[in-house]
């Protein structure tokens, strides 16, 4: 079961449930040996609950949903998680309200995250098993994300930024390229340019905090509207970054899934000619 991706926590939960593991219809221990033709049944009950998340009705752009996962197109300005400064107007609150309407227990399981002011596709697990499997897939880099970014200046046709990123001393938020930082690799391809700006398709080999924003600023092409690294709000009020594409195999069926979210209006407007 560990080789199939089940975590230690899930195995503990199964062992505590009298019907958690059934071997040919009979309760079984995890030390049982399987015989050819035997049927092992796993009954994973949804027992966890994110009870501290207040349900708040808000619009949700659900791109895909099945019994194991959600893909949601998050708008800019909506945080993924509740925080000290925002306990109610987040993706978690909106999803909690949806579950409340259905009369179902709610446990918030995002796989990765987006900054508050980054728009685009967010992947969430709907149960403990899919959450465990998707987290493992993310760690093995089997979940591919592509971003669209509007950058200042005219980018090269394509390129790679390989530069370590670390915290700016004395700041809890700011990151910078620094020799003692953690390895970070960003690839980009210029898709369009207009009005002194470039539209880039961006994908990552690593997942450092603010990686795209820091790397683009480092090479002289920051994202307008970025309050940390390019506070130019003359044309857009948030960083011009959008999680546009998400590709991964379904954690249980193995089916290849691919989702896309179109460029938001505020970013598209930056590239309008004339």
Q: Is 125 strand, coil or helix? A: strand
* CB atoms inside a 10 Å sphere around CB 11: 17
pLDDT digits (tens, 9 = 90+) for 239-273: 999 999 999 999 999 999 999 999 999 999 999 86
Which helix (DSSP H) or strand (DSSP E) does residue 246 occupy? strand 241-249
| Beta-bridge mates of residue 145 | 246
User: pTM of the full predicted structure?
Assistant: 0.87
Arithmetic mean of pLDDT, 137-147 = 94
**Residue 4 confidence (pLDDT) above 80:** no
Instruction: Say if residues 177 and 210 touch (Cβ distance below 8 Å).
Output: no
Burial of 171 (0-12, 13-18, 19+ CB in 10 A): exposed
* Catalytic residue chosen out of the listed positions 66, 115, 162, 192: 115
162 is catalytic: no
24: left (phi over 0), alpha (psi -120 to 50) or beta: left
Quote the percentage of the chain above a pLDDT of 90.
70
**Residue 50 confidence (pLDDT) above 90:** no
The per-residue pLDDT for 74 is: 97
The per-residue pLDDT for 274 is: 44
What span, in angstroms and rounded, lies between the C-alpha atoms of 124 and 89? Answer: 18
Instruction: Say if residues 216 and 160 touch (Cβ distance below 8 Å).
Output: no
Mean per-residue pLDDT over the chain, rounded: 92
**Residue 78 confidence (pLDDT) above 70:** yes
Alpha helices in the chain (DSSP H): 8-16, 91-102, 128-139, 211-218, 265-270
What span, in angstroms and rounded, lies between the C-alpha atoms of 254 and 26? Answer: 28
**Residue 82 confidence (pLDDT) above 90:** no
**Residue 2 confidence (pLDDT) above 70:** yes
DSSP 220: T
């Amino acid at each position: 079961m560990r080789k199939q991706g089940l975590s230690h926590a899930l195995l503990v939960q199964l062992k505590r449930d009298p019907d958690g593991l059934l071997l040919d219809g009979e309760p079984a221990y995890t030390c049982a040996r399987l015989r050819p033709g035997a049927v092992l049944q796993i009954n994973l009950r949804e027992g966890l609950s994110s009870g501290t998340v207040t349900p708040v009705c808000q619009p949700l752009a659900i791109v895909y949903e099945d019994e194991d996962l959600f893909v949601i197109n998050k708008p800019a300005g909506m945080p993924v998680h509740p925080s000290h400064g925002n306990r109610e107007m987040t993706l978690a609150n909106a999803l909690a309200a949806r579950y409340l309407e259905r009369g179902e227990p709610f446990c918030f399981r995002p796989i990765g995250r987006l900054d508050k002011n980054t728009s685009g596709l967010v992947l969430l697990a709907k149960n403990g098993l899919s959450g465990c499997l998707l987290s493992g897939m993310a760690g093995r880099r089997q979940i591919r994300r592509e971003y669209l970014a509007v950058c200042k200046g005219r980018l090269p046709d394509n390129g790679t930024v390989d530069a370590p990123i670390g915290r700016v001393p004395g700041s809890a938020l700011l990151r910078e390229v620094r020799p003692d930082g953690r390895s970070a690799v960003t690839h980009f391809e210029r898709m369009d340019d207009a009005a002194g700006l470039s539209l880039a398709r961006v994908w990552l080999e690593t997942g450092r905090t603010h990686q795209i924003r820091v790397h683009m600023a480092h090479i002289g092409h920051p994202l307008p509207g970025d309050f940390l690294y390019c506070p130019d709000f003359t044309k857009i009020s948030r960083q011009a970054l959008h999680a546009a594409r998400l590709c991964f195999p379904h954690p249980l069926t193995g089916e290849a899934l691919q989702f896309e979210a179109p460029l938001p209006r505020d970013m598209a407007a930056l590239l309008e000619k004339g």
